[in-house]
Chain A
């Protein structure tokens, strides 16, 4: 499986990338939404994207909206991984088409449980 990790923090990309690689994902990284859209154009549809909310250039919410406009990505699972913890933000992300939502700080177990909830078959 292939996943995109989108976060402006290199450290967070590294941690999430390690978790996903341990689950046998091929991982692509991007530092903001616009870069992520570029990576997606190169890679084609992926299985999963972990998406931070607050990033420069294009934030995670805008990225989710953009991805959900394009039918070729309809099966791609999108999970917000963010410090935004207001209920209104969770609702906004889900309504825009995010499948899941994790509030930072996170642990490996949390990520794995949420991936399972989205129906991804993990090793």
Chain B
């Protein structure tokens, strides 16, 4: 899974030579997260294989693809938009109707990275479902990296990041300007409990979940671990709860207990009913 030290040194060296970006030790998670999509795109098994392929053809285009992957930040607020449309129009109204007596909703973002996903979701909840203000909302957001988690907690974003996918009316409503940067307002930050969870290891106690965001994270694991994680999700998800995977991810051939919901490019799943 994790990049080995020699391959990390190799990647660091070419990124430094080609674009003067210094990847210090401790940034292994970043190399992992940026290069795994390329590994899959190239139909390789691991970053080790990717490095081997570059070494065997140093003038090939793969080296450029690595540079591009390492220097392009794909994270944005309301990323891919369709899952958030589905949440707004279909899933949240349904869950709110079903839970209206108990007035409790449990949400977990399992790969929060630099925080854009949990904050997008919390903005959606606050802006479009004000009735939830009186509910007991348990909202966890986790990541494997302590560094990323600290970023999430701070809720501070650069001007470049704030320009990515965030509707201006929501920026005005839920952010404050701090010098040249922008910070999520405190009341929103307080709504989320940030924690470190390594998905491939034992999970801490998490209450049964109504809504689980696990987008673009299964791709980093091998088939056995994907099955393992989906098995644990199955036990954690309430019978009428929903799971969101990346639009290009699937439970097919991994866990037959899930069914994909027919919402446009949303990667929305639930447990098979009945």
Contacts A86-B177, A103-B163, A106-B163 given; does A113 touch B169 at CB 8 Å: no
**Residues of A that sit less than 8 Å from B by CB:** 85-87, 90-91, 94, 98-103, 105-107, 109-110, 113-114, 116-117
CA distance A110 to B168 in the complex (A): 12
CA distance A86 to B159 in the complex (A): 11
**Residues of B that sit less than 8 Å from A by CB:** 76, 78, 81, 159-160, 162-165, 167-169, 171-172, 176-177
Contacts A110-B163, A117-B81 given; does A94 touch B177 at CB 8 Å: no
B177, A87: Cβ atoms closer than 8 Å: yes
20 contacts between A and B (CB under 8 A): A85-B177, A87-B172, A87-B176, A87-B177, A90-B168, A90-B171, A90-B172, A94-B172, A99-B168, A100-B167, A101-B168, A102-B163, A103-B162, A109-B76, A109-B164, A113-B76, A113-B164, A114-B163, A116-B81, A117-B78
CA distance A109 to B171 in the complex (A): 18
B76, A94: Cβ atoms closer than 8 Å: no
Residue from A94, A106, A107 within 8 A of B168 (CB atoms): A94
Q: Give the residue name and chain of the B residue nearest to A118 (CB).
A: B167
Q: Give the residue name and chain of the B residue nearest to A79 (CB).
A: B168
Residue from A91, A113, A117 within 8 A of B172 (CB atoms): A91
CA distance A1 to B163 in the complex (A): 24
Interface class of chain B by DSSP: mixed
CA distance A33 to B162 in the complex (A): 27
Query: Which residues of the partner chain A approach B164 to less than 8 Å between Cβ atoms?
Result: 109-110, 113
Query: Which residues of the partner chain B approach A101 to less than 8 Å between Cβ atoms?
Result: 168, 171
Query: Which residues of the partner chain A approach B172 to less than 8 Å between Cβ atoms?
Result: 87, 90-91, 94
Query: Which residues of the partner chain A approach B160 to less than 8 Å between Cβ atoms?
Result: 105, 107
Please name the 7 residue pairs, one residue from A and one from B, whose CB atoms are nearest each other, closest first. A101-B168, A113-B165, A110-B163, A87-B177, A117-B167, A100-B168, A91-B172
CA distance A113 to B76 in the complex (A): 9
Query: Which residues of the partner chain A approach B167 to less than 8 Å between Cβ atoms?
Result: 100, 117
B41 CB to closest chain A CB, in angstroms?
Answer: 18
CA distance A116 to B168 in the complex (A): 13
CA distance A94 to B169 in the complex (A): 7
B236 CB to closest chain A CB, in angstroms?
Answer: 32
A52 CB to closest chain B CB, in angstroms?
Answer: 15
A109 CB to closest chain B CB, in angstroms?
Answer: 7
CA distance A117 to B168 in the complex (A): 10
Query: Which residues of the partner chain B approach A90 to less than 8 Å between Cβ atoms?
Result: 168, 171-172
B71 CB to closest chain A CB, in angstroms?
Answer: 12
A66 CB to closest chain B CB, in angstroms?
Answer: 20
A61 CB to closest chain B CB, in angstroms?
Answer: 14
CA distance A85 to B182 in the complex (A): 11
Query: Which residues of the partner chain A approach B76 to less than 8 Å between Cβ atoms?
Result: 109, 113
A116 CB to closest chain B CB, in angstroms?
Answer: 6
Q: Give the residue name and chain of the A residue nearest to B169 (CB).
A: A94
B165, A117: Cβ atoms closer than 8 Å: yes
Q: Give the residue name and chain of the A residue nearest to B77 (CB).
A: A113
CA distance A3 to B172 in the complex (A): 26
